[in-house]
Amino acid sequence: MPHKTFVRAPEWEIVIGLEVHTQLSTNSKIFSGASTTYGAEPNTQADAVSIALPGVLPVLNKGAVERAIKFGLAVGAHIAPRSVFARKNYFYPDLPKGYQISQFDLPVVGQGALTIQVEPLSGNAKPYEKVVRITRAHLEEDAGKSVHGESQGVTGVDLNRAGTPLLEIVSEPDMRSAAEAVAYAKALHSLVRWIGICDGNMQEGSFRCDVNVSVRRPGEPLGTRREIKNLNSFKFMQQAIDYEVQWQIDTIENGGKIQQATILFNPDTGETRAMRSKEDAHDYRYFPDPDLLPLDITPAMLEQVRATLPELPQAKRERYVNELGLSAYDASMLTASREMADFFEDAVDSLFSQVRSAINLGAAPCAEPYAAKLCANWIIGEVSAQLNRDGLDIAQCPVSAQQLGDIILRIVDGAILNSGAKEVFRTMWEEQITWSALGGKQARTADEIIEAKGLKQVSDSGAIEKIVDEIIAANPAQVAEYRSGKDKVFGFFVGLAMKASKGKANPAQLNDILKKKLAG
């Protein structure tokens, strides 16, 4: 069903907060040694702890704690020197113990913040930056899964997920539009993958979002929120928020009241519907888990985890702007994922090493910033477009960063034009895919393709002068127009010269020679 477009009156303000369940990338569960591998046969990874057999005791997974700390450090959060696990009591068929081990009043990660880049959904608005505060992030175990419809009238329970380690990341209600909520969720998704604590696979449930939505008139107290559960798509998140906001506004304007509730979004109809009244913390009867000691995190452990952090996206963006001269937009695009940033840096490193050699032989000192900008343009433009067409991500790019650097070098040193470089790139792409499928050798090098296709730019001033002389001799009327002050005629001569050179004439040389010859 197509997404409905809603028009909101300006007298309403939207208030949004997110609770994101991030599955941590440990090999075993948070309180036992059972595997967390996705896709196993039902109940084959449900050990004695997972199914809550009498007498079993939970043992905390150190890897889960380290990943939680890593996230906290990445968002500048307070890491609690002591945190406590609690029992959150409720009944679900797929929760064997009748409670979930979580954290309540003493979470491992305290207040932090995440800076996001927001692309407004309306065409006229400009992108902007916003800081979203993070309230907390706490460790907990996942529940199992109810499987409906396996056979008529029967619901099965798969406990493979029971005990899988989760980090629940709770934001403040700082977002004021679906665009901001989606930007925050995307930034968080990128960050947890960037620092290696979660694979981010939304289809497998590794990254799931609950969205709390309310509306109010500006200046009034917060309205009653409704929580949209288990959104595993950024597109669905936007649609669900848009629908829910309009529903709440319509309900209030028609004299109704919003009741706090947990709701689900149906992507087929584009609508939300209430599932149950929303519980508050006291309804869960939290109390400290008597089987788990408090978690103590020492300064030494903090520093040990800090040493494993890679350069973070915000720091990379600033470095790209300050050291490479890129625009804030380019830097943001290139840091959308760690794989994209790595590809860009590998291409730049390869290119710079060759450009520096050329500089030693007399190349212009401005070549490096120009080369960095070219790399950015190519990766954001041609490379990304080709990846999208073939349904690949940057880690699967057939043309390596080194090969892309070789192509761009030939633009920098004037060997080929940008149009010729695109032909080299497409040829290399197709050849690499073909050879990979056959298990054979690599595609031809950039220089081999340039030579074979005759793409090398004409930089011989004598050859260009000959072309220009012939064109000037054949077009005396246009020469007279140019010399009388009609500068626009200059493009006429450039076009003829490029056509005569089959698009291979060095543009800078051609322009210089044309201007001199036309000056008379």
Q: Of residues 414 and 360, which shows the higher confidence score?
A: 414
Q: Of residues 109 and 514, which shows the higher confidence score?
A: 109
Residue 297 confidence (pLDDT): 97
Sorting pLDDT into bands at 50, 70 and 90, what band is 175? very high
Q: Of residues 287 and 439, which shows the higher confidence score?
A: 287
Q: Mean of the per-residue pLDDT values for the chain?
A: 88
Residue 228: in which H helix or E strand, if any?
A: strand 226-231
Give the count of alpha carbons within 13 A of 335, CB side only: 25
> 70 near 36, Cβ under 8 Å?
no
> 188 near 17, Cβ under 8 Å?
no
Sorting pLDDT into bands at 50, 70 and 90, what band is 511? confident
Q: Tokens 């798509």, residue?
A: 233
The span from the CA of 137 to the CA of 150, in Å, is 36
Sorting pLDDT into bands at 50, 70 and 90, what band is 113? very high
The β-bridge relationship of strands 86-89 and 82-83 is: unpaired
Burial call 268-288: b when 16+ CB within 10 Å, e when fewer: eebbbeeeeebeeeeebebee
Lowest mean pLDDT of 109-123, 144-158, 363-377, name the range. Answer: 363-377
Range picked from 58-67, 261-270, 476-485 for highest mean pLDDT: 58-67
Q: Of residues 500 and 208, which shows the higher confidence score?
A: 208
Q: Which of 101, 108, 109 is nearest to 141 (CA)?
A: 101
CATH of domain 461-519: 1.10.10.410
Q: Which of 185, 166, 170, 164 is nearest to 233 (CA)?
A: 185
| Dihedral-angle region of residue 153 (phi above 0 means left; psi in -120 to 50 means alpha; beta otherwise) | left
Sorting pLDDT into bands at 50, 70 and 90, what band is 249? very high
Lowest mean pLDDT of 96-105, 313-322, 433-442, 489-498, name the range. Answer: 433-442
Sorting pLDDT into bands at 50, 70 and 90, what band is 274? confident
Residue 482 confidence (pLDDT): 80
Lowest mean pLDDT of 41-45, 286-290, 509-513, name the range. Answer: 509-513
Sorting pLDDT into bands at 50, 70 and 90, what band is 265? very high
High-pLDDT (> 70) share of the chain, %: 91
What is residue 41's DSSP assignment?
P
Given a cut of 50, is residue 218 above it in pLDDT? Answer: yes
Mean pLDDT of 180-187: 96
- Residues with Cβ within 8 Å of 10's Cβ and at least 6 positions away in sequence, in order, are none
**DSSP per-residue letters across 372-416:** HHHHHHHIIIIIHHHHHHHT--GGG-SS-HHHHHHHHHHHHTTSS
Residue 9 confidence (pLDDT): 58
Q: Read off the tokens for 205.
A: 């449930």
Lowest mean pLDDT of 183-192, 399-408, 427-436, name the range. Answer: 427-436
Residue 133 confidence (pLDDT): 98
Mean pLDDT of 160-178: 97
Q: Tokens 């009043």, residue?
A: 105
The span from the CA of 228 to the CA of 369, in Å, is 47
The β-bridge relationship of strands 154-158 and 99-102 is: unpaired
The β-bridge relationship of strands 165-171 and 13-23 is: antiparallel
Given a cut of 50, is residue 87 above it in pLDDT? Answer: yes
Given a cut of 60, is residue 463 above it in pLDDT? Answer: yes
The span from the CA of 130 to the CA of 151, in Å, is 49
Rg (CA), the chain: 30
- Residues with Cβ within 8 Å of 105's Cβ and at least 6 positions away in sequence, in order, are 84, 86, 286
The span from the CA of 501 to the CA of 342, in Å, is 39
Residue 365 confidence (pLDDT): 43
The span from the CA of 409 to the CA of 389, in Å, is 25
Given a cut of 70, is residue 360 above it in pLDDT? Answer: no
> 145 near 30, Cβ under 8 Å?
no
Residue 441 confidence (pLDDT): 66
Given a cut of 90, is residue 398 above it in pLDDT? Answer: yes
The span from the CA of 343 to the CA of 395, in Å, is 8
User: CB neighbours (10 Å) of residue 186?
Assistant: 16
Mean pLDDT of 158-181: 96
- Per domain, the residue ranges of the chain are 15-305, 313-453, 461-519
Q: Which of 85, 272, 64 is nearest to 178 (CA)?
A: 272
Residue 471 confidence (pLDDT): 85
Q: 469 vs 452, 465, 475, 493, 495, CA distance in Å?
A: 29, 6, 10, 11, 14
Q: Of residues 504 and 247, which shows the higher confidence score?
A: 247
Mean pLDDT of 76-80: 97
The span from the CA of 283 to the CA of 281, in Å, is 5
Distance of alpha carbon 327 from the chain centroid: 18
> 415 near 457, Cβ under 8 Å?
yes
Residue 110 confidence (pLDDT): 97
The span from the CA of 441 to the CA of 435, in Å, is 6
Lowest mean pLDDT of 273-287, 379-393, 462-476, name the range. Answer: 273-287
Q: Read off the tokens for 47.
A: 């050990």
Mean pLDDT of 390-396: 93
Sorting pLDDT into bands at 50, 70 and 90, what band is 282? low
Mean pLDDT of 452-473: 77
Amino acid in the structure at residue 286: Y
Q: Read off the tokens for 510.
A: 């051609």
CA 457, 460, 464, 467 torsion: positive or negative?
negative
| Dihedral-angle region of residue 403 (phi above 0 means left; psi in -120 to 50 means alpha; beta otherwise) | alpha
Amino acid in the structure at residue 483: R
